Structure 1
Amino acid sequence: MLYDYLIVGHGLAGAILARTLEKLGNTVAVFDAEKPNSASNVAAGLINPVAGKRFAKTWQADNFIPAAEAFYRELEADLNTALFHQKPILKLFSSIEEQNNWMGKSAESHWNEYIEATYPELPPSEEVHQELGGLKITRGGFVELKKMLSLLREKLEAQNRLVSGTFDFGKLQLSKNGIVYENLEARRLIFCEGYQAVKNPYFSWLPFSLNKGEVLNISVKNLGAECIYNKGVYVVPLGEDSWKVGATYNWREPDERPTPEGKTELEGRLNNLLKLSFKVTEHTAGIRPAVRDRKPLIGLHPEIPVLGIFNGMGSKGVLMAPYLARQFAEALSGNGSIWPEVSISRYQKFYYEQALPL
């Protein structure tokens, strides 16, 4: 069978792009080597309109958040299961400096849709350290990524559209009209490999800046689960006294091995947030496919337009991927274009510099 698209990789980016292309009437097959400790399976799946310690509004939040909400709600309906949990985020101030930083920005009008309340101080709590106050962020939440990817993978398998295994570039045949890989034919091949893209002979020239993130699963009793907590770490409710805690950022060791140092760092930050005792039940790590300028990498190869890439979402893939997948899918069909900020054309000079003879 000739497919419109063959997608390599069924993490967050690949799964969302595959579904988006299908919804637009394309035929899609997926090639994937399932990895339980992939970044998509390890991540908490957070959606947060407020970025970092400087309280910046997340880039393109006004576009990304409605698209993400619509995508995950439709997916829940199609799969007949709960995946997307909208919860406020209680961001607790860690210092007077952080509190003052927010107060200086809180009057900006673009926060109206995303900040429900600012608390210069909060009453003593038996659960968390909240003496310096904080703010309640709306339109946040999390997606059960591991569950989502597992269900979508089962669906692909049932439809005989999933090839399990490691992609072998030596078996790839290219032509002006498409690609052939063993018994698979497609008009276009889109790579959604996450951090493995640094080994991709067609796209390794792109400036990935890989970093490892370590997370903990913990058990803690009597912690109110009405919100996601954030104070140096995020603490996400998973149900039945289970919580996910993260995450570290480590650019020095881009591997998937959890470390004692990462665990110690997370436990220390957690103790600055929680007053309750907790038990670590799991410690995992994944590699984020981040990019030098913190923007995704999307587009077609400069000289081989039957090959494309949809990657580089970093730690915000759950938020960004639904909107950008739709944008890319429409651009591929000739009905739109992708933003210059995410197009791989912004790094095209790296490709030609690499190709220059010595």
Structure 2
Amino acid sequence: MNYDFIVVGHGLAGAILAYTLRKKGHQVLVIDEPKENSASNVAAGLVNPVAGKRFAKSWLADVFLPFADQFYQELEERFGQPLFFHKPIYKVFSSIEEQNNWMAKSAGGNWSEYIKTTYTQSTGEESINDPYGGIVIDKGGYLLVSETLRLLAEEQLAKGQMLPERFDVEQLQLTEQGVKYKNIEARHLIFCEGYQVVHNPYFKWLPLQPTKGEVLEIQTQNFEPERIYNKAVYVVPVGGGRFKIGATYNWRQADEVPTPEGQEELTERFTQITTQPYRVVNHWAGIRPAVRDRRPLIGQHPDYPQLSVFNGMGSKGVLMAPYLAHLYAQALAGEAELLPDVHISRYFSLYYDYIKHQNL
């Protein structure tokens, strides 16, 4: 059977890319082994346009945000149910120094598009510990990632556009026309494997660091469900008095096993935000594909142009994937150029060093 594209992996990046390629009229086959605790399924799906202790606007937020908004609205209309929820984010200052840092930062630029309110003292909310105040960030929200992936997968399975199995790279053959996998032929194959790319013989030279993250789901009744909270951890409402809390970052232990240490870290940070009683309902662990320069890894292989990678979005996939999938679909058709910041050509020197080492 012939396709234009094979997409390996159906995390958020692969799912959005496959959907985007089909919208452009291409025949696309997705190959993916379903996995409940994939990084995408575990994630809270957070979008935050102002991130970090330095109060930096998220990279290309002005481009990514409106595109993502439109993309998820289209999916909601397609499937007839809400998937993306717009929520303000209350970033709680952890110290007077952090408050001062924000005041200095905000004095040097126009933040009115993203910052709704600045509090220099407590808001007075009984359930929140915010003695130094905080800022309310506009245009935040979260995607129901696992539900979005489930709907897209069910649609593809019903149409015979998805193989729910593990991709065996040893059965991949490169041909003059493209690629052949078992009895399937395609012009191009795109790896969207997340952290598993470190085991991929064609792209293992990329500087991707598997990073374990643990997430809790808790139940509490006395917490504002119309806001996302952020103070060392995020607290995202998911309905019915439940909230997702996360996430940890662990570069040393790249497995998907929830740990008592992870739960302790998350609950300790949660209790810095509130003194309200709660109980832990669920505890998950997943592995993110983190990149050293915090930019995605997208582009064709330097020696095998019939192979590509679309990866490395880490915790920013909900925000970045819709626009970058659109841009890469155009680039593969020769209609646009990839952004240099995301193109894997910035790491081609690592590939040539890897090849040289293999030939020694």
TM-superposed CA distance for 1:151, in Å, is 0.6
Note the residue ranges of structure 1 that are not aligned, 5 or more in a row: none
Cα distance in 2 for partners of 1:79, 1:123 equals 39
Q: Does 1:170 align with 2:170?
A: yes
How many percent of aligned residue pairs carry the same amino acid?
Answer: 56
Contact 2:211-2:249 at 8 Å conserved across structures: yes
Q: Does 1:351 align with 2:351?
A: yes
Q: Give the corresponding residue for 1:126.
A: 126
Provide the secondary structure at the position in 2 that maps to 1:25.
coil
Contact 1:301-1:308 at 8 Å conserved across structures: yes
Provide the secondary structure at the position in 2 that maps to 1:106.
helix
Contact 1:295-1:341 at 8 Å conserved across structures: yes
Q: Give the corresponding residue for 1:188.
A: 188
TM-superposed CA distance for 1:125, in Å, is 2.6
Q: Which amino acid aligns with 1:93?
A: F
Cα distance in 2 for partners of 1:292, 1:91 equals 26
Cα distance in 1 for partners of 2:246, 2:353 equals 38
Q: Give the corresponding residue for 1:15.
A: 15
Q: Which amino acid aligns with 1:67?
A: F
Correspondence 1:266-277 to 2 at 5 A? 266-277=266-277
Structure 1 residue ranges, 4+ long, deviating more than 2 angstroms after superposition? 107-110, 122-125
Cα distance in 2 for partners of 1:319, 1:52 equals 15
Contact 2:178-2:306 at 8 Å conserved across structures: yes
TM-superposed CA distance for 1:34, in Å, is 0.7
TM-superposed CA distance for 1:176, in Å, is 2.2
Q: Give the corresponding residue for 1:215.
A: 215
Q: Give the corresponding residue for 1:3.
A: 3
Provide the secondary structure at the position in 2 that maps to 1:289.
strand
Contact 1:237-1:243 at 8 Å conserved across structures: yes
Contact 1:189-1:308 at 8 Å conserved across structures: yes
Compute the RMSD of aligned alpha carbons: 0.9
Q: Give the corresponding residue for 1:339.
A: 339
Deviations 1:244-270 (A, max 9, x none): 000111111111111111110000000
TM-score computed with the length of structure 1 as normaliser? 0.99
Q: Give the corresponding residue for 1:280.
A: 280
TM-superposed CA distance for 1:209, in Å, is 1.5
Q: Does 1:70 align with 2:70?
A: yes
TM-superposed CA distance for 1:183, in Å, is 2.0
Cα distance in 2 for partners of 1:64, 1:77 equals 20
Contact 2:195-2:209 at 8 Å conserved across structures: no
TM-superposed CA distance for 1:232, in Å, is 1.3
Contact 2:127-2:276 at 8 Å conserved across structures: yes
Cα distance in 2 for partners of 1:124, 1:324 equals 41
Q: Give the corresponding residue for 2:315.
A: 315
TM-score computed with the length of structure 2 as normaliser? 0.98
Cα distance in 2 for partners of 1:63, 1:192 equals 22
Q: Give the corresponding residue for 2:234.
A: 234
Q: Give the corresponding residue for 2:304.
A: 304
Cα distance in 2 for partners of 1:302, 1:319 equals 28
Q: Give the corresponding residue for 1:97.
A: 97
Cα distance in 2 for partners of 1:185, 1:343 equals 26
Q: Give the corresponding residue for 1:159.
A: 159
Deviations 1:17-69 (A, max 9, x none): 00111111111110000110000000000000011111011111111111110
TM-superposed CA distance for 1:107, in Å, is 2.4
Contact 1:126-1:276 at 8 Å conserved across structures: no
Correspondence 1:192-211 to 2 at 5 A? 192-211=192-211
Provide the secondary structure at the position in 1 that maps to 2:291.
coil
Cα distance in 2 for partners of 1:116, 1:125 equals 17
Cα distance in 1 for partners of 2:135, 2:342 equals 31
Cα distance in 2 for partners of 1:87, 1:123 equals 18
TM-superposed CA distance for 1:110, in Å, is 4.1
Note the residue ranges of structure 2 that are not aligned, 5 or more in a row: none
Deviations 1:126-171 (A, max 9, x none): 2110221011100100000000000100001000111111111121
Q: Give the corresponding residue for 2:258.
A: 258
Cα distance in 2 for partners of 1:36, 1:127 equals 33
Cα distance in 1 for partners of 2:333, 2:303 equals 18
Cα distance in 1 for partners of 2:298, 2:290 equals 13
Cα distance in 2 for partners of 1:290, 1:304 equals 24
Cα distance in 1 for partners of 2:337, 2:2 equals 25
Cα distance in 1 for partners of 2:204, 2:263 equals 32
TM-superposed CA distance for 1:124, in Å, is 2.9
